[in-house]
Amino acid sequence: MIAPSSRPAIFIDRDGTLSEEVGYINHMTRFRLLPFAVDAVRLVNQSGYLAVLVTNQAGVARGYFPEPLVEEVHRHVHHRMAEGGARLDGIFYCPHHPSAGVPPYRQNCACRKPKPGLLLQAEKALGIDLPRSWVVGDRYPDMQVAWAVGARGAMVRTGYGEGELAHNAPRWPQAPDLVAENLLSAVERILREDRVA
């Protein structure tokens, strides 16, 4: 049952969408927020939507970096957002991989995008209206995870986005609901389309 007070969310992918896509972030020094990231999240905060980060971090399962590094990166993100007057209402990540590494990280989990586990965790923790929500990301699995919960998907051209659109889009069974230059323009367009009371 959905609480009457439940709000929709704009789920935001991390690498390639909120931060630069540079391959695995195996050290803090490799992590760089994209220049519009704080402005985009602040804009979400000022709307009726929750701002929720959802990210696959299979580098943990692969043994490329320890799970506490993921937490360190996310503390840094929270800090940078707070400095800019913005706030992520939640951060959810999947450290698993179905075939790499050793258990418990090696598992066929329910939370590795495009499976919807991260969104369902967020729904449970924050009371989110999923059908009115969006996922913004730079890869097709970010669109699939949106559709898996009845939400909409917005594709950005940052990170892998430009290449995904150039080379893979013709084979996609379903087109993204929206294609935008970057996270900020995606948020602006989502807010223009859907006014949340």
Q: Which residues form the interface with Mg ion (CB under 5 A)? A: 13, 15-16, 138
Q: In the bound complex, what is the minimum distance in angstroms from residue 113's beta carbon to Mg ion?
A: 9
**Residues annotated as part of the active site:** 13, 15
Structure tokens at 110: 């329910």
Q: In the bound complex, what is the minimum distance in angstroms from residue 78's beta carbon to Zn ion?
A: 21
Q: Does 113 bind Zn ion (CB under 5 A)?
A: no
In the complex with Mg ion, the residue whose CB is nearer, 16 or 153, is 16
Describe the strand order of the beta sheet including 50-56 as a list of residue ranges: 90-94, 50-56, 9-13, 134-137, 152-156, 178-180
Q: Does 53 bind Zn ion (CB under 5 A)?
A: no
- In the list Zn ion, Mg ion, none, the entry touching 8 (Cβ below 5 to 8 angstroms by class) is none
Q: In the bound complex, what is the minimum distance in angstroms from residue 130's beta carbon to Mg ion?
A: 20
Decide: helix, strand or coil at residue 173: coil
Q: How far apart are the first and last CA of the chain?
A: 21
Decide: helix, strand or coil at residue 52: strand
Judged by CB under 5 A, the stretch of 6-14, 90-98, 136-144, 183-191 that binds Zn ion is 90-98
Q: Which residues pair with 154 in a beta bridge?
A: 136, 178
